[in-house]
Chains A and B, each alone.
Chain A
Amino acid sequence: MNNPNASPKAVPTILLVESHSIEQENFAHIAVQEGWQLVICNSGIDAIHWFNKNNKADVLVIEESSAPLNGYQTADYIKTELGLKLPVLITVGTVPTPQELRVIAFAEGVITKPFIKSTCILQINEILERFPERPPAQNNSYSLNYLRDIFDGHEESVLESLELFSTSVNTELEQLDVELQDRDYKRIREIAHSIKPSFEMLENETGKSICHLLNSEAEETEMPRLIHDLQLEFASITKQLTRDFPELKIG
């Protein structure tokens, strides 16, 4: 374990788990240029030990193929067992290992290796900006933090957006069924691309992850199951919204 940067504590701390020295070096260059404090661990176990010493990071960037615990398993452990809420980005090669949806939900995003400066900066800055607005623990279906921020606390616009979410996503999910029957997989990817921001605006990570998969690496054979899971997640969100806002036209 080493710490190649000596940045002030006020800057974000990125914990990188990476076993290849060239990629460590690539990432360290990016971190130096961006002014991030970087801590590098060689394995997920190292990272867990580091957190166990009460060290804190703002983002964990961990390789999918870390051993003995892979990236997703490490993320699961850190979030479930250690109770830490930091966002996790999984680094993958050109062909990521297929994972179950339940497992994918442990990470907030994926970065492809070799590390590309613009992509890394974009994804990490985006997650740093959004992380303080994670959904509260008592409501795991959605959060209104982002909507309240974008609408400057204008509650009427927030509520109108919730109705828009319900009607517009419902229509697109019905269309996904039609496209699935027609085997129009290109259109399915386009619809997933279109509705992904709707889930992101409600800070629903599951919906976002499924849309991401449908729009990117999902095989055609996986699409029926992913669409079904997305519909279940949407139903769960609208159920919660109906409970929380009975006055709205939702569901």
Chain B
Amino acid sequence: MMKKILVVEDNPMVIKSLEFKLTKDGHEVLIAKDGREAMKFLKEVNFDLILTDLMLPFVTGKELISYIKKNSPKTPIIVLSTSTQENIIMDAFNMGVDDFITKPFSPNELSLRVKRFLSKA
């Protein structure tokens, strides 16, 4: 059975590349372009993994992570970060995110990290 991954990201180029790579790796990918869309998906679908940016329109990354941790605490979260966000990443780890990957990501690194978390799901 295909694993369901939610990608929460607003950059269209990053979305396209993630969608291409994760679909090619055999996963079902749903895209939310902002935190509000993500919340809507999370109410309707059970995901095996969530990849999320932290600087999101409408709902902040912190709010989103807090929501996921409250409502779906076993779903692993990988943060999509940039190299300028060390403090924000540390805050996210303190909130319980599982890993982070820097944008633009290395294709192999993405595959390996996703595979690692999905094998635990």
Contact = CB atoms under 8 A, between A and B. Distances in A.
Nearest to A167: B12
Contacts of B67: none
Contact of B104 (A146, A157, A164, A195): A146
B57 to A, nearest CB: 8
A157 B12 CA distance: 13
Interface string B14-41: 1011001100100000000000000000
A184 B88 CA distance: 21
B16 A149 contact: no
Nearest to B84: A216
Contacts of B82: 193, 196-197, 215
- What's the dominant secondary structure at chain A's contact region? helix
B99 interface: no
Interface residues of A, number: 34
B96 interface: no
A80 interface: no
B1 interface: no
Interface of A: 109, 116, 118-119, 122-123, 126, 129-130, 146-147, 149-152, 154, 157, 160-161, 164-165, 168, 190, 193-198, 200-201, 212, 215-216
Interface of B: 10-14, 16-17, 20-21, 24, 55, 82-84, 86, 102-104, 106-107, 109
5 cross-chain pairs, A with B, having the tightest CB-CB distances, nearest first: A197-B103, A168-B12, A150-B17, A201-B104, A164-B12
